[in-house]
């Protein structure tokens, strides 16, 4: 049986016990890995001690989860469930997350190390709850377009789900990142196989039970703990997963793209890293600029893809800004502590690996000649705490100016002109976001237009809005989250063409041909006058009056003229048959028909036509055979051998 873990909190900010399942969530049930799997330690970043160990899956577990998801998609979700019903379930899930906000925030704070109040206010209430509610509202509004082409055609599009969608989420905002993928993919009718980060899986596991409580069909959401090299790779390569959403590093994003290319070319939506600039002009409101710059880099201990780690300040206020900015870092340093300590605003890095990575960048900056204004070292001797760090005198080609650090480390650089700072800001392979602080409206618009970034905030820091798309340029990603644009990652567009030409097939294919010795076979609907049994459009010719071909016509006989009491022609040959006015039938081999009897050239044909044919495909719904005055015959969808006798009305 899958194990559970109970954690008891006895802190000034939160008291209580929380029990979570620590197995795999597949088909609405908690299960153990098929082969036993690995146990993955979950570590408290404040102490470095193990909190618990969760089950780690393998590719076999991914196979089982995908099978459960496919079954759910085909039987109890997808387009079988109206969008309004999908929306109701998402709204109910949002309510449950809100009701359990304290528990989720406590687990998030414990696992990530971020302050409890930040986890609840930002991760749970602002992003997770709002994203579920926002996309609940979109569930019954997934609409295509009617496209005008010409008066004889109606064309429209449908936005359809992919089916099984993989989601791989990061460790910095675990529950929020999961919701930003789960909500739009469920709203659009897809089903999910989610791999949370092996570093921070606790809130995803708690979330799974809320999915069940909300009433989602089993298999709609499946959650597989595991490492990227096993579970992540299996999701990226699985042939039945049609699309995947990933948030994380450029390196891993490339691996997922490669795995998709080597498997089934699944749709891959990437939200990757950044090296965001914060640009402060002389005319900016200084206090506001310091506040937004500080929050932009030090929030969540610098562990954010939008972290403004390159801060450019115009020379006229550079010294004043630097003095105030340093003071803000000092305040944060003094407010460093565990997530449940009252007044704590700055916590640890998420893991020992991330701690060593960030310290490596700090040491690199020192080695390359940048000046440490404040910080530049660990704080305390327990856990993974790093002091907020500010570099000055950094050069554009230094690692700390070019690579994503993902920690509380930034560089402040002086600039002179708008043109100069624009060039510097764009001098990176990233293009996720940028911040501009100025009171000059025209300048703010110019800067926003010229910066190579998917999001630009003017006179604020990176504060997201659920209705506004978020996603990067260049190597920062290829897709959008938030807003209506996020739906594009989880839908595929189908175009539908309908012929409504009353002459060429739109009105039940009524044709009135007035040629004397004339046979016309007219197929219904899509391929008008170009199809009887199989497609023959490449054989259609028009010579004076209309003529037609059929590929599978086996025998046409007994076109009987009472004027001379003779059958003028018959054939049992297949292949091409062309009927012109009177006198010639072209086929292989060519057969010459006798001329029409004297006096019959313009006279209507009377008699019967018998068609014997073998259908390789279902027959058209409607076939008209007309000679002289119209004959209108309806045939059902048939296949096989048929004989049809047609008499003129």
Tens digit of each residue's pLDDT (9 = 90 or more) over 628-640: 333 333 333 334 4
Assign 335 a pLDDT band (cuts: 50, 70, 90). very high
pLDDT value at position 601? 36
Assign 2 a pLDDT band (cuts: 50, 70, 90). confident
What angle in degrees, to the nearest 10, is found between the helix axes of 418-425 and 441-450?
30
What mean pLDDT value characterizes the chain?
83
pLDDT value at position 160? 97
Q: What are the tens digits of pLDDT across the range 61-98? A: 999 999 999 999 999 999 889 999 999 999 999 999 99
Assign 504 a pLDDT band (cuts: 50, 70, 90). low
Determine contact, residues 546/515, Cβ cutoff 8 Å: yes
Average pLDDT for residues 401-413, to the nearest whole number?
Answer: 98
pLDDT value at position 503? 67
Residue 536 pLDDT > 90: no
Low-confidence winner among 150-154, 205-209, 330-334 (lowest mean pLDDT): 150-154
pLDDT value at position 502? 73
Q: What are the tens digits of pLDDT across the range 568-612? A: 333 332 222 323 222 332 323 333 333 444 443 333 333 333 333
256 vs 535, higher pLDDT: 256
Residue 158's Cβ-count burial label (10 Å; 0-12, 13-18, 19+) is middle
Low-confidence winner among 122-126, 164-168, 220-224, 604-608 (lowest mean pLDDT): 604-608
Q: Give me the percent of the chain exceeding a pLDDT of 70.
A: 77
Average pLDDT for residues 452-473, to the nearest whole number?
Answer: 97
Residue 621 pLDDT > 90: no
Average pLDDT for residues 380-387, to the nearest whole number?
Answer: 97
Determine contact, residues 288/255, Cβ cutoff 8 Å: no
Cα dihedral 474, 476, 479, 484 sign: negative
Residue 554 pLDDT > 70: no
For the chain, list the domains and their CATH numbers.
4-21+29-272+488-494 (3.40.605.10), 277-464 (3.40.309.10), 502-649 (no CATH)
pLDDT value at position 247? 98
Measured CA to CA, the distance from residue 60 to residue 36 in angstroms comes to 11
pLDDT value at position 144? 95
pLDDT value at position 508? 37
Average pLDDT for residues 51-67, to the nearest whole number?
Answer: 98
Which long-range contacts does 371-376 make (Cβ < 8 Å, 24+ apart)? 373/322, 373/326, 373/412, 374/326, 374/329, 374/330, 374/333, 375/329, 375/333, 375/408, 375/409
Measured CA to CA, the distance from residue 19 to residue 6 in angstroms comes to 4
Measured CA to CA, the distance from residue 77 to residue 324 in angstroms comes to 55
Residue 346's Cβ-count burial label (10 Å; 0-12, 13-18, 19+) is buried
pLDDT value at position 500? 87
Residue 5 pLDDT > 80: yes
Residue 525 pLDDT > 90: no
Give residues with Cβ within 8 angstroms of 296, minimum separation 6: 276, 278, 306, 307, 308, 435, 461, 462
Identify the H or E element spanning 132: helix 130-138
Q: Which pTM value belongs to this model?
A: 0.79
pLDDT value at position 363? 98
Measured CA to CA, the distance from residue 511 to residue 85 in angstroms comes to 46
Counting every residue, how long is the chain? 649
Q: What are the tens digits of pLDDT across the range 105-139? A: 999 999 999 999 999 999 999 999 999 999 999 99
Residue 521 pLDDT > 50: no
Average pLDDT for residues 16-37, to the nearest whole number?
Answer: 96
pLDDT value at position 38? 86
CA distance to 49, 143, 345, 376, 629, per residue, from 382 (Å): 10, 54, 17, 17, 97
Catalytic residues: 271
Assign 531 a pLDDT band (cuts: 50, 70, 90). very low
Q: Identify which of 100, 470, 116, 465 has the alpha carbon closest to the alpha carbon of residue 276.
A: 470
Q: Identify which of 398, 438, 432, 401 has the alpha carbon closest to the alpha carbon of residue 418.
A: 438
Q: What are the tens digits of pLDDT across the range 265-305? A: 999 999 999 999 999 999 999 999 999 999 999 999 999 99
pLDDT value at position 506? 52
pLDDT value at position 591? 30
pLDDT value at position 250? 96
Cα dihedral 175, 180, 181, 185 sign: positive
Residue 642 pLDDT > 90: no
Give residues with Cβ within 8 angstroms of 326, minimum separation 6: 373, 374, 390
Determine contact, residues 19/27, Cβ cutoff 8 Å: no
CA distance to 88, 382, 406, per residue, from 458 (Å): 36, 39, 23
Most confident of the ranges 448-462, 494-508, 532-546, 577-591: 448-462
Determine contact, residues 452/468, Cβ cutoff 8 Å: no
| Three-state SS annotation for 491-534 | EEEEEEEEECCCCCCCCCCCCCCCCCCCCEEEECCCCCCCECCC
Residue 462's Cβ-count burial label (10 Å; 0-12, 13-18, 19+) is buried
């Amino acid at each position: 049986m899958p194990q559970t873990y109970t954690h008891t909190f006895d802190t000034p900010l939160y008291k209580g016990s929380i029990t979570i399942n620590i197995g795999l969530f597949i088909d609405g049930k908690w299960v153990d890995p098929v082969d036993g799997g690995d146990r993955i330690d979950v570590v408290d970043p404040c102490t470095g001690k193990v909190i618990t160990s969760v089950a780690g899956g393998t590719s076999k577990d991914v196979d089982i989860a995908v099978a459960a998801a496919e079954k759910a998609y085909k039987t109890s979700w997808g387009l079988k469930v109206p969008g309004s019903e999908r929306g109701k379930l998402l709204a109910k899930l949002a309510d449950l997350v809100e009701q359990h906000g304290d528990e989720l925030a406590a687990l998030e704070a414990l696992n990530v190390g971020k302050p409890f109040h930040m986890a609840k206010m930002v991760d749970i209430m602002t992003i997770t709850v709002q994203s579920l509610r926002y996309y609940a509202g979109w569930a019954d509004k997934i609409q295509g377009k009617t496209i005008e082409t010409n008066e004889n055609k109606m064309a429209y599009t449908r936005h359809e789900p992919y089916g099984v969608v993989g989601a791989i989420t990061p460790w910095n905002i675990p529950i929020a990142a999961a919701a930003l993928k789960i909500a739009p993919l469920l709203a659009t009718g897809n089903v999910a196989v989610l791999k949370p980060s092996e570093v921070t899986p606790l809130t995803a596991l708690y979330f799974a039970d809320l999915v069940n409580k909300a009433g989602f069909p089993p298999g709609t959401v499946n959650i597989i703990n595991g490492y990227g090299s096993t579970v992540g790779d299996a999701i990226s390569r699985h042939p039945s997963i049609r699309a995947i959403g990933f948030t994380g590093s450029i390196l891993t994003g490339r691996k997922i793209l490669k795995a998709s290319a080597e498997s089934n070319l699944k749709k891959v939506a990437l939200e990757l890293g950044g090296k965001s600039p914060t640009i402060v002009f002389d005319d900016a409101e200084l206090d506001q600029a310091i506040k937004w710059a500080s929050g932009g880099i030090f929030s969540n201990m610098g562990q954010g893809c939008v972290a403004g780690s390159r801060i450019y300040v115009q020379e006229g206020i550079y010294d004043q800004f630097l003095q105030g900015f340093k003071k803000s870092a000092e305040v944060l340093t003094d407010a460093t502590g565990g997530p449940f300590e009252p007044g704590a605003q700055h916590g640890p890095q998420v893991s020992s690996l991330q701690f060593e990575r960030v310290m490596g960048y700090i040491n690199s900056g020192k080695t390359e000649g940048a000046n440490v204004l404040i910080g530049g070292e660990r704080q305390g001797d327990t856990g993974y705490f790093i002091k907020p760090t500010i570099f000055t005198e950094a050069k554009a080609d230094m690692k700390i100016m070019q690579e994503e650090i993902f920690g509380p480390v930034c560089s402040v650089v002086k600039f002179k002109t708008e043109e100069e700072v624009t060039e510097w800001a764009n001098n990176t392979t990233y293009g996720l976001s940028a911040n501009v602080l100025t009171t000059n409206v025209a300048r703010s618009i110019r800067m926003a237009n010229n910066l190579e970034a998917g999001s630009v905030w003017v006179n604020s820091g990176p504060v997201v809005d659920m209705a506004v798309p978020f996603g990067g340029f260049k190597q920062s990603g290829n897709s959008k989250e938030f807003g209506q644009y996020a739906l594009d990652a989880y839908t595929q567009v189908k175009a539908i063409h309908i012929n409504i030409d009353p002459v060429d097939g739109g009105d039940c294919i009524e044709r009135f041909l007035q040629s004397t010795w004339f046979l016309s076979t007219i197929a219904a609907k899509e391929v008008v006058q170009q199809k009887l049994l199989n497609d023959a459009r490449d054989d259609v010719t028009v010579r004076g009056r209309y003529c037609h071909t059929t590929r599978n016509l086996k025998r046409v006989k007994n076109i009987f003229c009472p004027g001379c009491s003779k059958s003028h022609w018959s054939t049992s040959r297949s292949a091409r048959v062309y009927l012109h006015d009177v006198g010639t039938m072209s086929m292989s081999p060519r057969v010459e028909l006798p001329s029409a009897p004297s006096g019959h050239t313009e006279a209507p044909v009377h008699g019967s036509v018998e068609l014997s044919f073998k259908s390789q495909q279902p027959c058209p719904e409607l076939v008209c055979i007309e000679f002289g005055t119209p004959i209108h015959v309806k045939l059902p969808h048939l296949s096989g051998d048929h004989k049809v006798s047609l008499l003129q009305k």
